[in-house]
Structure 1
Amino acid sequence: MKKSLFVIVMLLMAGTMAAIGHTPFERITGVVIADDGSPLPGVNVILKGTTIGTVTDLEGKYELDVPDASKGVLEISFVGYMTQEIKLESKSHIKVTLQQDVMELSEVVVTGYAVEEKRDISGSVSVVSGRKRLKQAAPSYDAEVYIPPTNEEYAEIAEWGYKGVADKPLSTFSIDVDAASYANMRRYLNNGQRPPADAVRIEEMINYFNYDYREPAGEHPFSINTEVSSAPWNPEHKLVHIGLQGKNIPTENLPPSNLVFLLDVSGSMSDANKLPLLKSAFRMLVGELRPQDKVSIVVYAGAAGVVLEPTSGSEKDEIIDALSRLQAGGSTAGGAGILKAYDLAEREFVKEGNNRVILATDGDFNVGLSSNDELEKLIEQKRESGIFLTVLGFGTGNLKDSKMETLADKGNGNYAYIDNIQEARKVFVNEFGGTLFTIAKDVKIQVEFNPANVQAYRLIGYENRALKDEDFNNDKKDAGELGAGHTVTALYEVVPVGVKSPFYSIDPLKYQKPEKKQDSFSNELMTVKLRYKKPDGNKSQLITEVIRDESVNLQRTSDNFRWSAAVAGFGMWLRESEYLNEYSLDDIIVLAKNSRGDDAEGYRSELVRLMKTQKNL
């Protein structure tokens, strides 16, 4: 009996221990361009016959570690271009020019999706699945399309409708700094597909971008910025822009970090856009670490194990070497991995420091604790220890988006989706402080509308961040976190008093007395209240801001206002929202092009390119 038990344990550990090898690697760099000389971002670069691979960044550049550069063959592939195979033959830098595949381009169709609704313990989930042909419902997507087999899961989103101020004067929600939905949407569009509607969370698309808000100057760790104009898609309505700017903290002034990398090395992570990309991404993060920071690495497959004991950020080679040896194989004991990672984080806890578990996975937990309910309870218990959670999603076809978003929400953390090496740089390098260092937690927003000037309103996005009105003053109610330097933006579409809206119309009430206009508040549109706690605090603080009923012409608004409106419009277009009215994709593109502002990293220009791609399709 003991011998049988020993064999079973060893088999379970095999998937995890296979992640550790000792093969030396060589660095290959290069660039991929189109036949017109322009760089190609998002190109797949894979060592043929292996799971080692990466994708090119915005400049078409790539880096790849291979075990033997003298024998390998690189396979370079991108939608609409002819795949190339390049023998390495000890080359360390390879420039590749891809030729357009005219035959493939002529046959490209937009891939639709089938939605099968199921309900589990955490609520309704859309499952993108199937292998069949169907007619896409969107007017511009009426071609017959092939649906590849996939098993991705997204929480169902029911778009906000208009609410009357007379019976619902308060709107309450938690902030959301996650940006996973935008990167995932980009992945779909780059593959010539329209994303499932439930994969499009408009607030995450808006908050993917930084905005030029004023820095906080007072006692609070963020500033509040507001602006009012007409709604581009319905000029009779007003659009209210609310922006928060988190305090920027220089890296050298950030508190020491105790980080535990919790990495999924199960068999489902073997694809090039999963574990190989994961390793490249975490190497970037390691490059940002300081001597006062420490890192541990826990991996899980059939079982969980510690690959790297707590190591100083000054020992970068040792940390990178541990990452380089990881290989994929086995089932997915994610619950066991979470337990081990939190135990290690608690053991190394840094008082007044940044204590955080960084979970990287495709979200498929199938051994041990695996249901959403079990995982939620586990994460909720662990967050009380003062340890935050960052969740990073990787890969396609098996992405459990709904599960990963829930884990990040319950773990006082954030959720990002890494679809290419450029996104890894954004998350781990460009936004290092915002990703890893929380400056305010349980941040809630409550808006009270003035019935003298507003008859109805709707919040754009944040559907899964709704709170009960009484939750605003309840300090036991969990809400979102704000990182150093992060910006958060929310948009309300408002129907002014006296406007006949096609989307909101009710008969005059027979038994209710009309609201008496209060002259002292006649120039107020709404009052915005915010509550937040310090990262280590339990009592919230209140901030109040009045928004006047003063609207400026849309063309005179800031780039912040018009860009957020363009992104919201594109999100509504992807979701086929009825509230977009007759506003077209062409209109959205013009609005976006004229509001890019300072776009040093090229993120806004990239979205304009994606919009144009959709127009061409």
Structure 2
Amino acid sequence: MRTILFLISLLLSIGGYAGQKYEVKGKVTDATTKLALSAVVVTNVQTKESTSTDRDGNYRIQAEAGTTILEFSYLGYITQRIQVKRKTKVDVAMVQDNRALDEVVVMGDRKVAKRNTANMMTASTALAGQTQGLYIRGGYIPDQNQESYQKIKENKFINPLKEPLSTFAVDVDAASYSNIRRFINAGSLPDKDAVRVEEMINYFQYRVAGPKNGEPVNIVTELTKAPWNNQHQLMRVTLKAKDIPTDKLKASNLVFLIDVSGSMMGAGRLPLVKSSLKMLVDQLRDIDRVAIVTYAGSAGVKLESTSGSQKMKIKTAIDELEAGGSTAGAAGIKKAYAIARQNLIKGGNNRIILASDGDFNVGESSDESMEELIGKESKSGVFLTVLGYGMGNLKDGKMEILADKGHGNYAYIDNISEARKAMVTEFGGTLFTVAKDVKIQVEFNPNYVQAYRLVGYENRLLEAEDFNNDQKMGGDMGVGHVVTALYEIVPVGVNSTMVGTVDPLKYQKNSTKYIEVRGNGELAAVKFRYKEPEGEKSKLQQQVVPTKVTDLNKVSEDLRFATAVAELGLLLRDSDFKQQADFDRLIARAKTAKGADDEGYRAEFIRMAENARDLSKAKL
């Protein structure tokens, strides 16, 4: 009898322990490169609860003692299942999936033999009109050569005697940085045309004083030596938009336009879209409204415009979304604008939030037709925010065009931490415009400037006369946004190989005379124009940049860090203008300029630069 009672007591004890819940955490890395993997989906097989690894490969998830099995899945890697038992820390090294072709189902125009497909995804209905790609156990992997980027022709050095004015539209997009990070975290260097240096610089927040006297934007300038050529100078031009408390923001009429086509299957695509948008839903107030439009083979309304007070209803509609079919993006855009116009809030924040990989393959789909479509729709007072997802199939160029023409911004979301940055940390800047059609024009003084070069912004350049033309679009700035531009300058008297020469002209006078004002201590005059969010007439502000050069180690922390980011961009692009750019020097400079870094973004940049340096060495 005593033995029986003891056994019963033991079983009850074990059973009670097995039911206890606790937290398991760990890190997921690539088994070969040892680099952290972000956006790996970690699932508790018993409870179906799932999470994703952050930008450092870390995860946290609830487990139940004695019974929990965790599944780790990531596109291009073999899915792993691990029994937790009593562990509180489980690190995983994932192995890339190099299985033979008879273990994959190839979709699209290609035909290959297949067998042993019993355990593969059943996706016959999802694949109608599907973008060429392949399915393996765990999800869809598009061809890795299907990504597309707009060709970048780098800005050259310009003689101010010939072109004294440099004019461009501001750009608050930051998609390029997170896309580059995705490449490097996966163990490869990015396509050079994926590297837009201005977007790398503007990924980070800088400590700039806000505007005064009711102005929406403040301007700050600095001048130092170029770290990659100490004979050259580097001029910073930074705009800071005003901050507005969340409870003071205008009421929002939002339309979530969600791509649910077959190319959005798998981790890092639709599941990450859902998590991102649910984060945004949590930020909404009762005065805000949300509708959901989806598109695959056709466009449809998943949720009519609903009050932000009904968060569970909105989240349930998001959770019900499934991917499959072709991609009628143009139809989805038209439907979203129609819904936004139906629920327009006069004087409010009317905005479409498009979540997609940009692969439109039904109806209007070319970059030109998309540009024309958005150009027409943007006149309705509805702004457009574009969120890019997925790898291997990302149509980056198309996504950027949509955002630029739609009076909006473009972010690339590669993991849950990036989603949090866009949807929570920078909520106001992402969704609420305080100044639109913002343009910058800089006039350089040839008494001091032999040549100048705008670093980045190649696809945002404007003609000089566009600056005063209110019909020409500029960029848009959201609440609290900071936009930085860097100019590399060759001072008068410096013999630089970066400055080209031409023979004297035969049939007209050669322009060699300097302007009349000499030695006035003005290096450049900076002007910028902007419109109020609902205005049609621009306003002008301007500021003079003095010739005084401050040593690089004495300029603001922000400028030192921005120069490190720009230098990495020059190296990743293998720029014709990288000159003496150096990984070790930029990393050392970034470390001294990291500052408070509450969100850890600058520390992450340093790790990314170190990884890029090592990958570059391995490539040689």
Q: TM-score range by the shorter chain?
A: 0.7 to 0.9
How far has the Cα of 1:522 moved from its partner?
A: 2.2
CA distance in 1 between partners of 2:423 and 2:500 (Å): 48
* 1:243 is the counterpart of 2:238: yes
Could you state the TM-score of these two structures normalised by the residue count of structure 2? Answer: 0.82
Cα contact 1:179–1:208 (8 A) shared by 2: yes
Residues in 1 aligned to 2:78 and 2:235: alpha-carbon distance in whole angstroms? 47
- Aligned pairs (5 A) from 1:206-605: 206-506=201-501, 509=504, 511-512=509-510, 514-516=512-514, 518-519=516-517, 522-605=520-603
Give the Cα–Cα distance (whole angstroms) in 1 for the partners of residues 597 and 365 of structure 2.
41
Identity %: 49
Following TM superposition, by how much is the alpha carbon of 1:586 offset from its aligned partner in structure 2, in angstroms? Answer: 0.8
The amino acid across from 1:252 in the alignment is D
Match for residue 33 of structure 1 among 27, 36, 53:
27
Q: Structure 1, residues 537-593: CA drift from partner, whole Å, max 9, x if none?
A: 100001111101011111101111111111000000000113221221111111111
Q: Is the 8 A contact 2:39 2:267 kept in 1?
A: no
Taking structure 1 as reference, are residues 310 and 65 closer, same or farther at Cα in structure 2, changes over 3 Å only?
farther
Partner amino acid, structure 2, of 1:372: D
State the secondary structure of the residue aligned to 2:257: strand
User: Cα gap change, 1:271/1:235 in structure 2, threshold over 3 Å: closer, same or farther?
Assistant: same
1:33 touches 1:39 (CA, 8 Å); kept in 2? no
Q: Residue by residue, what CA displacement relative to the aligned partner does 1:479-515 show, whole Å, maximum 9, x if unpaired?
A: 1100000000000000111111111142685743632
SS of residue paired to 1:178: coil
1:358 is paired with a residue of what secondary structure? strand
Following TM superposition, by how much is the alpha carbon of 1:33 offset from its aligned partner in structure 2, in angstroms? 2.7
Question: Following the alignment from structure 1 to structure 2, what is the Cα–Cα distance between the partners of residues 83 and 259?
Answer: 37
Deviation string 1:12-45 (CA, Å, 9 cap, x unpaired) is xxxxxxxxxxxxxxx998532379xx99661512
Secondary structure of the residue aligned to 1:488 is strand
Contact 1:54 1:276 in 2 (8 A): no
* Segment of structure 1 superposing worse, 502-511 or 147-156: 502-511
Q: 2:52 corresponds to which letter in structure 1?
A: V
- State TM-score, norm by structure 1: 0.82
- Evaluate the alpha carbon distance shift between residue 319 and residue 64 of structure 1 in structure 2; reply closer, same or farther with a 3 A threshold: farther
1:219 CA drift (Å): 3.2
> Given residue 563 of structure 1, which amino acid in structure 2 is its aligned partner?
F
Q: Say if 2:60 is the partner of 1:74.
A: no
Q: What is the rounded CA distance, in whole Å, between the counterparts of 1:262 and 1:351 in structure 2?
A: 21
Q: Which has the larger radius of gyration?
A: 2
CA contact (8 A) 1:229 1:240 kept: yes
In the other structure, the counterpart of 2:40 is: 44
Structure 2 Cα separation of the partners of residues 207 and 516 of structure 1: 35
Q: Displacement, 1:478? A: 0.8
Call closer, same or farther: CA 1:558–1:302 in 2, change over 3 Å: same
Shift, 1:368, TM fit: 1.6
Q: Deviations over 1:273-321 (max 9, x none)?
A: 1000110111100110000000000111111111111111111111111
Kept after mapping to 2: 8 A contact 1:31/1:56? no
- The alignment partner of 2:162 has SS state of coil
Contact 1:54 1:277 in 2 (8 A): no
Match of residue 610 from structure 2: 612
Provide the aligned C-alpha RMSD in A. 3.1
How big is the shift at 1:520? 6.2
2-side partners of 1:33 and 1:43: how far apart? 12
Cα distance between partner residues in 2 of 1:344 and 1:438:
20
Identify the residue that residue 12 of structure 2 maps to in structure 1: none
Query: Does the CA-based 8 Å contact 2:133-2:143 persist in structure 1?
Result: yes
Rounded to whole Å, the distance in 1 between the matches of 2:297 and 2:514 is: 67
State the Cα deviation string for residues 348-387 of structure 1 (Å, max 9, x = none): 0001100000000010111122222222111111111100
CA contact (8 A) 1:286 1:320 kept: yes
Q: 1 CA distance for matches of 2:563 and 2:491?
A: 18
Aligned length: 543
Where 1:96 maps in the other structure, the secondary structure is coil
Q: Give the conservation status (yes or no) of the 8 Å contact 2:528–2:542.
A: yes
CA distance 1:333–1:53, shift in 2 (3 Å) = farther
Q: Is the 8 A contact 2:28 2:57 kept in 1?
A: no
Corresponding position of 2:121: none
Partner of 2:52: 55
CA deviation vs aligned residue, 1:455-475 (integer Å, no higher than 9, x gap): 100000000000011111110
What SS is found at the alignment partner of 1:311? strand
Which residue number in structure 1 is paired with residue 139 of structure 2?
A: none
1:97 aligns with 2:97: no
Q: Output the CA distance in 1 between the equivalents of 2:330 and 2:369.
A: 9
CA shift at 1:149, angstroms? Answer: 3.6
Shift of 1:517: 5.4
**Deviation of residue 266 (structure 1)?**
0.6
| Counterparts of 1:28 and 1:358, CA distance in 2 | 37
* 1:340 partner amino acid: K
In the alignment, structure 1 segments of 5+ residues that lack a partner are: 1-26, 105-128, 132-146
| Corresponding residue number in structure 2 for 1:125 | none
1:616 CA displacement: 2.4
1:106-185 paired onto structure 2 within 5 Å: 149-185=144-180
Q: Would the alpha carbon gap of residues 332 and 513 (structure 1) be closer, same or farther in structure 2, given more than 3 Å must change? A: closer
Residue of structure 2 in register with 1:14 after alignment: none
Deviation at 1:598, TM superposition (A): 1.9
1:579 counterpart SS class: coil
Alignment partners' CA distance in 1, 2:61 and 2:313: 18
CA offsets per residue over residues 437-468 of structure 1, 9 Å max, x none?
Answer: 00000000011000111010000000000001
**Residue deviations 1:198-246 (CA, integer Å, cap 9, x gap):** 0000000000000011111123201100000110011111100011111
Change (3 A) 1:259 1:55: same
Instruction: Give the whole-Å Cα distance in 2 for the aligned partners of 1:224 and 1:360.
Output: 32
Paired residue secondary structure (2:276):
helix
